[in-house]
Structure 1
Amino acid sequence: ASVIMADELAAEVDFFSIGTNDLTQYTLACDRQNPNLGRFADTHSPAVLRMITMATDAAHRHGIWCGICGELGTDLSLTDKFLRIGLDELSVSPTSVLPLRNAIRNH
């Protein structure tokens, strides 16, 4: 629901930080902790990526930055996509900083 209201929210806040774990779970209506449903929690889902794009676009229209946190930021197969979306920040664990930095340099 927040993504749908992103333009209105962006007018009231200083930044967006998208929690990708929860976004994936709620967008796909799939509990990632449930072993019977985990296989349906596709982090590369076009729906999840479109939601990230929509929020980022709304943030930029209002002059604020947009970043992501959660496991998705460490997925190097998505780094190029995130850069094309225009995300301003990828928040990752310390052990993921160097591989991510290298992926961005090689972009």
Structure 2
Amino acid sequence: MKNDIFMNLRFAPLSGKRLIRVEKCGLQIRLKKEAMQMKQLGNLAMVCARRRSILFMSENGEVRVTIRNAPGSPSYYLRWDDDKKIEEVIHELNFGKYRNY
């Protein structure tokens, strides 16, 4: 009986957010926005993983990105859920002054 409820579980897009719909019960649960914000953090991790000169560390909700071969080894300190700042760092690493490091 318990498995019957979860057989109809599916994801459906709804105005930029995801909606979990359990049709058998008519129950709808919207995922919290915080769970959806990790997208940019994952992108930053992939950008850093491609380069040996960049150190990516995440601990206690904070992220540190250090460009080791750049003069002075600059670091960015970010909150894990600050998508705007993370996008700025990604842009700086890909197209800005640190693109060659």
| Shared fold per TM-score greater than 0.5 | no
Q: Relative to total residues, which structure has the larger strand share, 1 or 2?
A: 2
Q: Relative to total residues, which structure has the larger helix share, 1 or 2?
A: 1
Q: Which has the higher contact order (CA 8 A, sep 6+)?
A: 1
With normalisation by structure 1, the TM-score equals 0.22
With normalisation by structure 2, the TM-score equals 0.23
Larger radius of gyration: 2
